[in-house]
Structure 1
Amino acid sequence: MTLTQDKPVIFFKPQGRIDLETATALSKKMAEVKLESQQLWVIDLAEVGFMDSSGLVPLVQALKAVHESGCRLVLCNVQAPVRLVLELTHLDSVFEIVDNYEEILSTFEDKTLATA
């Protein structure tokens, strides 16, 4: 798992599987990040080939915490097996999902410029 913290962007890149064991580690890693207003949390799922329902827990917890702090969370590079889990649970309509990291940055910069 890679974590890059460069205000205002917090970048998570889990790898492999997100199951009960790795979901717990992901939750702990996310809890270590100090939330500050206007942060952008990016979870890049390009290297996640499998996620079961326990993998949804850290994502939903992070989404709740981020929204309560006035931040934004975006999923990108969601692979087909992970997208299927999100679709089956209807969480694909709850999360902001984009194709790639570059798309996130362009929309983030547009929103930042609009509020400046």
Structure 2
Amino acid sequence: MTLKQKHQVVLFQPQGSIDLEGGVALSNEMLKVVPQSHQLWVIDLAAVDFMDSSGLVSLVKVLTAARQSGCRLVLCDVKAPVRLVLELTQLDSVFEIFDTYEDVHSLVHDRRLALAS
């Protein structure tokens, strides 16, 4: 997983599958980053081709931790198989989902997307 931080935006870029093993690794890596209020956490799923229920649990765990810390967490570049899982579980209504990281970045830059939730 790649991690980039610029100002108040933290970009996570997992790769491969977010299943039991990948989901645990993702949540462990993300929770190593000390969340600060008024941060925006972005999970760019462009390189993720599969996610199962264990991966969903990890995403919800990270979302909960972010919200409890005053951070905002959004997803972007969600591929069709992963989006289908989110839709079937109705978690697409829980997570904020953007088409691309550039969409998120431009909204933050234009101050049309608040950093904290």
Normalising to structure 2: TM-score of the pair? 0.90
Distance in 2, Cα, partners of 1:92 & 1:105: 20
Distance in 2, Cα, partners of 1:55 & 1:113: 26
Show CA shifts across 1:46-66 (max 9, x none).
011111110012211111111
Larger helix percent: 1
CA contact (8 A) 2:107 2:113 kept: no
Structure 1 residue 97: Cα displacement: 0.1
For structure 1, which segment, 4-13 or 73-82, has the greater mean C-alpha deviation from structure 2 after superposition? 4-13
1:93 equivalent in structure 2 = 93
Q: How many residues align?
A: 115
For structure 1, which segment, 67-76 or 90-99, has the greater mean C-alpha deviation from structure 2 after superposition? 67-76
Q: Which has the higher contact order (CA 8 A, sep 6+)?
A: 2
> What is the RMSD computed on CA atoms of the aligned residues?
1.9
Structure 1 residue 102: Cα displacement: 1.1
* Runs of 5+ consecutive residues of structure 1 not aligned to the other structure: none
Q: Which 4+ stretches in 1 moved above 3 angstroms?
A: 110-115
Structure 1 residue 16: Cα displacement: 0.9
Structure 1 residue 112: Cα displacement: 7.2
* Runs of 5+ consecutive residues of structure 2 not aligned to the other structure: none
Q: Could you say what secondary structure the match of 1:78 adopts? A: coil
Amino acid at match of 1:32: K
Identical amino acids, percent of aligned pairs: 63
Distance in 1, Cα, partners of 2:95 & 2:113: 23
1:15 equivalent in structure 2 = 15
Normalising to structure 1: TM-score of the pair? 0.91
Show CA shifts across 1:59-102 (max 9, x none).
11111111122211110000000000000110000000000011
